[in-house]
Structure 1
Amino acid sequence: MTHTLTAPRVAGATDILALTLWGEAADRPVRAIEAVASVVMTRVRLAAEPGGPARFGFGVAGVCRAPFQFACWHPGHPRHRAIAELSDGADLGSCRRIAARAVAGALPDPTGAATHYHAEELLPRWALGLTPTAEIGGLVFYRLVA
């Protein structure tokens, strides 16, 4: 299953990552946006390894838009339509700069190689009993892949 949202104006991995960061964390501090970008890049790296988790998708765009991985790409998420309605050249603020740094490999990972996260005010079932690797800007991070 693939997501139905298309973004024809999006030229590449950096743009898809910037949209993902905007959809997932634009209302959070810059450090939290950087941390979400680190989660994406950790998943990209892990999925590229032999026998890596295919559910993460492949490549930056594939990881960002893999089914059921980043909520902003799911048709039922409030930011899903907002992403589709962004105008060409929309100001994504720091999301675009952070995405460019992440894709270039120039973004330090403050999450301890986390693969998952949730808002601190929530506690999803998958996080019960797990020890977070970091808490940044209202997000709690975990590493669920060895």
Structure 2
Amino acid sequence: MTAIEKDRDILARTLWGEARSESLTGQIAVAWTIRNRVNDGKAKSWWGEGYAGVCLKPYQFSCWNSNDPNFAFLSGAKPIPAGQLAQAQKAADLVMSGTELDPTGGATHYYATTMPKAPAWAVGAKQTLMLGHHVFFKDVP
């Protein structure tokens, strides 16, 4: 598997783990937060390098935590339903290629509205978009 294929696979799996119940547009927005981290000047020192590095950075995307119920699917121990994976792969392709523009306005963070309360980092951050069950932010202190 090439580095580009690995980036696409890890990004698509992350989108499935983080936003499988969202529309294609919602998954594109989540993918753009990852792309914005990839393209951020501090990417290598903080976010990780490349799509796979950003997605797999410990504690950044909970679906990759070994105790998360999604991990068995993301690691390949259980199969991701083909149709759901295909949509996540399409979102990954559209964002990685730059075909779809960033609907998040440069967001590098988001959280799911299903969380019991907003994360502490959201205080003082600039909300850029609310889409589906996710709220997107940039300029996180």
1:86 & 1:15 partners in 2: Cα distance?
Answer: 15
Distance 1:124 1:110 in 2: 22
Tell me which of 91, 96, 103 is aligned to 1:103.
96
How far apart in 2 are the matches of 1:127 and 1:88? 31
Structure with a larger share of its residues in helix: 2
**Cα shift at 1:129:** 4.2
- Residues 88, 127 of structure 1: CA spacing in aligned structure 2 closer, same or farther, 3 A cutoff? closer
Is residue 61 from structure 1 mapped to residue 52 from structure 2 by the alignment?
yes
Counterpart pick for 1:72 among 39, 42, 63: 63
Calculate the TM-score normalised by the size of structure 2: 0.83
Structure 2: 5+ residue stretches without partners: none
Q: Which residue of the other structure, out of 16, 21, 36, is the alignment partner of 2:15?
A: 21
- Unaligned segments of structure 1, at least 5 residues: 1-10
RMSD: 2.3
Q: Which residue number in structure 2 is paired with residue 35 of structure 1? A: 29
Q: Is the 8 A contact 1:38 1:107 kept in 2?
A: no
Give, as a single letter, the amino acid of the residue that structure 2 aligns with 1:30: L
Q: Report how many aligned residue pairs link the two structures.
A: 133
Answering whether residue 30 of structure 2 is matched by residue 44 of structure 1, we say no
Percent identity (aligned): 37
1:116 is matched with which residue? 109
- Provide TM-score, normalisation by structure 1: 0.81
SS of equivalent residue, structure 2 residue 53:
helix
Stretch deviating more after TM superposition (130-139 or 109-118): 130-139
Following the alignment from structure 1 to structure 2, what is the Cα–Cα distance between the partners of residues 127 and 134? 13
